[in-house]
Structure 1
Amino acid sequence: MTKLSVNINKIATLRNSRGGNVPNLLKVAEDVQKFGAEGVTIHPRPDERHIRYQDAYDLVQVVNTEYNIEGNPIPRFIDLVLQIKPTQVTLVPDADDAITSNAGWDTVVHKDFLIDVIAEFKRNGIRTSIFVDPVEKMVEAAAVTGTDRVELYTEEYAKEFQRGNLNGISSYVNAAIVADKVGLGINAGHDLSLDNIRYFKEQIPNLLEVSIGHALISESLYLGLENVVNLYLNKLKYDASTPFSNFW
């Protein structure tokens, strides 16, 4: 079964825009788990424009499912992860000025760096995942680093799906097949939504986890957070024997 991890960065963005503690980030984390999500994801950045480093520590007391911390493994981030010891750390090569994640790792060029960082996390019992583009060579090279999983960067899939091009999934399928062959677990994230998640789930073999934030929070403004979490869960449980009407 594919697990749903809810990225709550956008809740922190809304809170920070006004000051104070509304909406309450910890309460939202509690709620999405209560509604059925199997994990909570955060992505602290150096400027703390949404998730603050203190949030990462505070969330330890309320996340009782899987806790996934994403980010660029700069020294401060590495120290944070080693202190918290979340379920999973997802390494993302963000530039400091990036609005959002916009590329996967070049696992060939950065192999030695990733080997060192991943070894430190694994010595501390933390599952590791590397954010990669759906490129077979990058997936194969990721396996050399010792990572447990790769997270497929799905922005291009989402764009092609919106254009009506279902063949946009092909590179992701191929990357997933390679990942399975080299013994890597498969996660996915970025611009996945209620519109495109079911098809992605259907096509990608051995998909373990999706991390969804921007779309899920935006859809919740119209449909309600509990309802949206459960819509995602239903779509992720889809198989060929499930009547389509069950998803609405």
Structure 2
Amino acid sequence: MQSLKILSFCVGAIVLALATAAYANRKINNSKEINTGTPGKGFALVELFTSEGCSSCPPADELLAKIQKETQDKPVYILAYHVDYWNNLGWKDVFSNAMFSKRQNEYSRYLNAQVYTPQVVVNGKTDLVGSDEPVLREAISSALTTEQTAQVSLKAQQNGDKLTVNYELSGNTDNQQLLLAIVQKSAISKVARGENSGRTLSHAQIVRELKTIALNQVKKGQSTIDLPKGFTPQGWEVVGFIQDKTSGEVLTATKADLTTNAITKI
């Protein structure tokens, strides 16, 4: 019996060592630069659900900021939604919005997934822990090799405290909707209470407004959005994407960087 116990322990130790080595190798391989796949074929819309009240969220915020810098020349679009259900636990996130909590719950139904922070959804099809760098990089690389089934182009113009967005679509847009996100590129917050009490947090790609437009056979249109307080043309951008209303799958995405004249097309 003693020999059997020793053998079982040794076999278990070997299996654990092999599993650890395999995981370490996977992590090293997936921490490399994101593979772009076939240029012009794919895209990755990376949606992070986060909160300043969540102690597990800062590593995810930092990871998404790092990937944002690495992929500036690639069709990778990052959106950080600050949910509001952490606000009654000691700290109110100034960027939080009940609309973003509702969107996360919609993904829960689409993907049959749990609601948690930090959670990332890639192209409306894959959810994962927002701080899991190897898995996130793998999901982005995979998305970049998948051909888009629709296209959208944007022109954005600031008119006082309003933003006028002209859009043009191609491909199948039946049962689809166009979403326009007004994004603040960066911000810093000093958290006084809650799980992150005493910390200074850096944020990237903060969604401040999200407008949904129902699509039909018309391939061109215009939408006007109220600009959030603190808006500056240099520090903000517009990200637009087409999403299937039934499955939640994102079919394409693009962005229009805001300039002083606020007119640009990508």
> Which is strand-richer, 1 or 2?
2
- TM > 0.5 between the two? no
Relative to the length of structure 2, the TM-score reads: 0.28
TM value normalised by structure 1: 0.30
Indicate the structure with greater helix content. Answer: 1
